[in-house]
Protein backbone atom coordinates (compact mmCIF):
# COMPACT_ATOMS: atom_id res chain seq x y z
CA UNK A 1 0.00 0.00 0.00
CA UNK A 2 1.41 3.41 -0.99
CA UNK A 3 1.67 5.97 1.80
CA UNK A 4 0.46 9.50 1.08
CA UNK A 5 3.15 12.09 1.74
CA UNK A 6 1.91 15.47 2.95
CA UNK A 7 3.00 17.03 -0.35
CA UNK A 8 0.79 14.54 -2.23
CA UNK A 9 -2.42 15.62 -0.53
CA UNK A 10 -4.03 17.29 -3.51
CA UNK A 11 -7.60 17.68 -2.36
CA UNK A 12 -9.07 19.69 0.46
CA UNK A 13 -10.75 16.50 1.70
CA UNK A 14 -7.37 14.77 2.01
CA UNK A 15 -5.85 17.71 3.88
CA UNK A 16 -8.88 17.84 6.20
CA UNK A 17 -8.64 14.09 6.82
CA UNK A 18 -4.94 14.42 7.69
CA UNK A 19 -5.77 17.27 10.07
CA UNK A 20 -8.47 15.19 11.78
CA UNK A 21 -6.05 12.29 12.18
CA UNK A 22 -3.40 14.52 13.77
CA UNK A 23 -6.02 16.21 15.98
CA UNK A 24 -7.18 12.78 17.16
CA UNK A 25 -3.59 11.67 17.80
CA UNK A 26 -2.83 14.74 19.88
CA UNK A 27 -6.08 14.46 21.85
CA UNK A 28 -5.40 10.82 22.71
CA UNK A 29 -1.75 11.50 23.59
CA UNK A 30 -2.80 14.46 25.77
CA UNK A 31 -4.89 12.14 27.91
CA UNK A 32 -2.75 9.00 28.02
CA UNK A 33 0.72 9.65 26.62
CA UNK A 34 2.61 7.46 24.17
CA UNK A 35 1.06 4.13 25.18
CA UNK A 36 -2.49 5.42 24.67
CA UNK A 37 -1.87 6.24 21.01
CA UNK A 38 -3.13 3.12 19.23
CA UNK A 39 -3.89 3.13 15.51
CA UNK A 40 -7.44 1.81 15.94
CA UNK A 41 -8.23 4.41 18.63
CA UNK A 42 -6.87 7.20 16.40
CA UNK A 43 -8.88 5.94 13.41
CA UNK A 44 -12.07 5.76 15.49
CA UNK A 45 -11.62 9.24 16.94
CA UNK A 46 -10.72 10.72 13.52
CA UNK A 47 -13.68 8.90 11.93
CA UNK A 48 -11.56 7.15 9.30
CA UNK A 49 -11.01 3.50 8.47
CA UNK A 50 -7.84 1.94 9.89
CA UNK A 51 -6.66 1.21 6.34
CA UNK A 52 -7.10 4.88 5.47
CA UNK A 53 -5.10 5.89 8.53
CA UNK A 54 -2.23 3.65 7.42
CA UNK A 55 -2.27 5.31 3.99
CA UNK A 56 -1.49 8.61 5.67
CA UNK A 57 0.74 7.40 8.50
CA UNK A 58 2.30 3.91 8.40
CA UNK A 59 2.96 3.79 12.16
CA UNK A 60 2.36 5.41 15.51
CA UNK A 61 5.85 6.91 15.33
CA UNK A 62 5.05 8.59 12.00
CA UNK A 63 1.83 9.94 13.53
CA UNK A 64 3.48 11.39 16.61
CA UNK A 65 6.54 12.83 14.85
CA UNK A 66 4.19 14.49 12.34
CA UNK A 67 2.17 15.85 15.27
CA UNK A 68 5.38 17.28 16.75
CA UNK A 69 6.15 18.98 13.45
CA UNK A 70 2.66 20.44 13.33
CA UNK A 71 3.02 21.68 16.92
CA UNK A 72 6.32 23.42 16.09
CA UNK A 73 4.68 24.98 13.01
CA UNK A 74 1.81 26.22 15.19
CA UNK A 75 4.18 27.73 17.76
CA UNK A 76 6.22 29.37 15.01
CA UNK A 77 3.10 30.80 13.34
CA UNK A 78 1.85 32.21 16.67
CA UNK A 79 5.18 33.85 17.49
CA UNK A 80 4.99 37.60 17.28
CA UNK A 81 8.15 38.38 15.31
CA UNK A 82 8.13 41.95 16.62
CA UNK A 83 8.54 40.55 20.14
CA UNK A 84 11.60 38.60 18.97
CA UNK A 85 13.17 41.45 17.00
CA UNK A 86 15.51 43.94 18.61
CA UNK A 87 18.00 43.39 21.34
CA UNK A 88 20.89 41.03 20.83
CA UNK A 89 20.99 37.60 19.17
CA UNK A 90 21.34 36.20 22.71
CA UNK A 91 18.14 37.92 23.87
CA UNK A 92 16.19 36.93 20.77
CA UNK A 93 17.30 33.30 20.89
CA UNK A 94 16.62 33.06 24.62
CA UNK A 95 13.12 34.45 23.99
CA UNK A 96 12.42 31.75 21.40
CA UNK A 97 13.92 28.93 23.49
CA UNK A 98 11.85 30.05 26.48
CA UNK A 99 8.68 30.23 24.39
CA UNK A 100 9.25 26.71 23.09
CA UNK A 101 9.97 25.40 26.60
CA UNK A 102 6.77 26.87 28.00
CA UNK A 103 4.71 25.50 25.12
CA UNK A 104 6.09 21.99 25.48
CA UNK A 105 5.79 21.97 29.29
CA UNK A 106 2.05 22.80 29.21
CA UNK A 107 1.02 19.24 28.38
CA UNK A 108 3.59 16.72 29.66
CA UNK A 109 1.75 13.63 28.38
CA UNK A 110 1.50 14.98 24.84
CA UNK A 111 5.09 16.21 24.91
CA UNK A 112 6.28 12.83 26.23
CA UNK A 113 4.45 11.00 23.44
CA UNK A 114 5.72 13.22 20.63
CA UNK A 115 9.27 13.39 21.98
CA UNK A 116 9.47 9.66 22.59
CA UNK A 117 8.41 8.98 19.01
CA UNK A 118 10.91 11.54 17.70
CA UNK A 119 13.81 10.12 19.70
CA UNK A 120 13.10 6.50 18.76
CA UNK A 121 12.11 7.07 15.12
CA UNK A 122 14.00 4.85 12.69
CA UNK A 123 14.95 5.47 9.07
CA UNK A 124 11.38 4.84 7.90
CA UNK A 125 10.36 8.13 9.54
CA UNK A 126 13.42 10.06 8.30
CA UNK A 127 11.30 12.49 6.29
CA UNK A 128 9.16 13.42 9.31
CA UNK A 129 12.19 13.72 11.60
CA UNK A 130 13.97 15.88 9.03
CA UNK A 131 10.96 18.18 8.82
CA UNK A 132 10.89 18.60 12.61
CA UNK A 133 14.64 19.33 12.73
CA UNK A 134 14.34 21.91 9.97
CA UNK A 135 11.44 23.63 11.73
CA UNK A 136 13.19 23.98 15.08
CA UNK A 137 16.52 24.93 13.51
CA UNK A 138 14.76 27.58 11.44
CA UNK A 139 12.93 29.00 14.47
CA UNK A 140 16.18 29.30 16.41
CA UNK A 141 18.27 30.61 13.48
CA UNK A 142 15.67 33.26 12.59
CA UNK A 143 15.53 34.34 16.23
CA UNK A 144 19.28 35.05 16.17
CA UNK A 145 19.10 37.02 12.94
CA UNK A 146 17.58 40.40 12.14
CA UNK A 147 17.33 39.30 8.52
CA UNK A 148 18.12 36.10 6.65
CA UNK A 149 20.06 33.72 8.95
CA UNK A 150 23.66 32.93 8.07
CA UNK A 151 25.04 29.43 7.67
CA UNK A 152 26.81 29.80 11.04
CA UNK A 153 23.51 30.76 12.69
CA UNK A 154 21.93 27.59 11.29
CA UNK A 155 24.83 25.56 12.69
CA UNK A 156 24.43 27.21 16.10
CA UNK A 157 20.68 26.58 15.91
CA UNK A 158 21.31 22.86 15.29
CA UNK A 159 23.52 22.64 18.40
CA UNK A 160 20.96 24.55 20.50
CA UNK A 161 18.23 22.25 19.15
CA UNK A 162 20.18 19.21 20.32
CA UNK A 163 20.82 20.76 23.74
CA UNK A 164 17.14 21.74 23.97
CA UNK A 165 15.97 18.20 23.15
CA UNK A 166 18.37 16.67 25.67
CA UNK A 167 17.05 18.97 28.38
CA UNK A 168 13.44 18.38 27.38
CA UNK A 169 14.06 14.66 27.88
CA UNK A 170 15.65 15.36 31.28
CA UNK A 171 12.55 17.36 32.28
CA UNK A 172 10.15 14.69 30.99
CA UNK A 173 11.93 11.99 32.98
CA UNK A 174 12.05 14.23 36.08
CA UNK A 175 15.84 14.37 36.10
CA UNK A 176 15.69 18.16 35.80
CA UNK A 177 13.22 20.84 36.85
CA UNK A 178 11.87 23.49 34.48
CA UNK A 179 14.21 25.95 36.21
CA UNK A 180 17.19 23.63 35.66
CA UNK A 181 16.31 23.37 31.97
CA UNK A 182 16.07 27.16 31.60
CA UNK A 183 19.43 27.66 33.30
CA UNK A 184 21.16 25.02 31.18
CA UNK A 185 19.77 26.44 27.94
CA UNK A 186 20.68 29.98 28.95
CA UNK A 187 24.24 28.78 29.58
CA UNK A 188 24.40 26.92 26.24
CA UNK A 189 23.20 29.99 24.33
CA UNK A 190 25.60 32.24 26.25
CA UNK A 191 28.57 29.96 25.51
CA UNK A 192 27.71 29.68 21.82
CA UNK A 193 26.88 33.28 20.97
CA UNK A 194 27.68 35.37 24.05
CA UNK A 195 25.24 37.69 25.77
CA UNK A 196 26.46 41.05 24.52
CA UNK A 197 26.93 40.38 20.80
CA UNK A 198 25.53 43.19 18.70
CA UNK A 199 22.47 42.43 16.61
Predicted TM-score of the model (pTM): 0.87
Task: Output the CA angle 156-160-162, nearest 5 degrees.
Answer: 120
pLDDT recorded at residue 146:
78
pLDDT tens string 20-39: 999 999 999 999 999 999 99
pLDDT tens string 123-178: 999 999 999 999 999 999 999 987 899 999 999 999 999 999 999 999 999 999 99
Q: Any idea what DSSP says for residue 47?
A: T
Task: Output the CA angle 36-178-103, nearest 5 degrees.
Answer: 60
Domains of the chain, CATH where assigned: 6-193 (1.10.357.10)
Confidence of residue 198 (pLDDT cuts 50, 70, 90): very low
Is the pLDDT at 1 greater than 60? The verdict is no
What are the angstrom distances between the C-alpha of 157 and each of 60, 171, 190? Answer: 28, 20, 13
d(CA 135, CA 138): 5
pLDDT tens string 51-64: 999 999 999 999 99
Is the pLDDT at 47 greater than 60? The verdict is yes
C-beta pairs of 20-25 under 8 Å, 24+ apart in sequence: 20/46, 20/47, 20/48, 21/46, 21/48, 21/53, 21/56, 21/57, 21/63, 22/63, 22/66, 22/67, 22/70, 25/63, 25/64, 25/67
Amino acid sequence: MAVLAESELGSEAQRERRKRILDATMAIASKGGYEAVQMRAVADRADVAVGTLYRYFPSKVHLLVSALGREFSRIDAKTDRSAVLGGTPFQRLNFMVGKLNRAMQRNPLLTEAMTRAYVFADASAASEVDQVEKLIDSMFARAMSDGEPTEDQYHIARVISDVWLSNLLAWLTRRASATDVSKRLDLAVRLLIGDSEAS
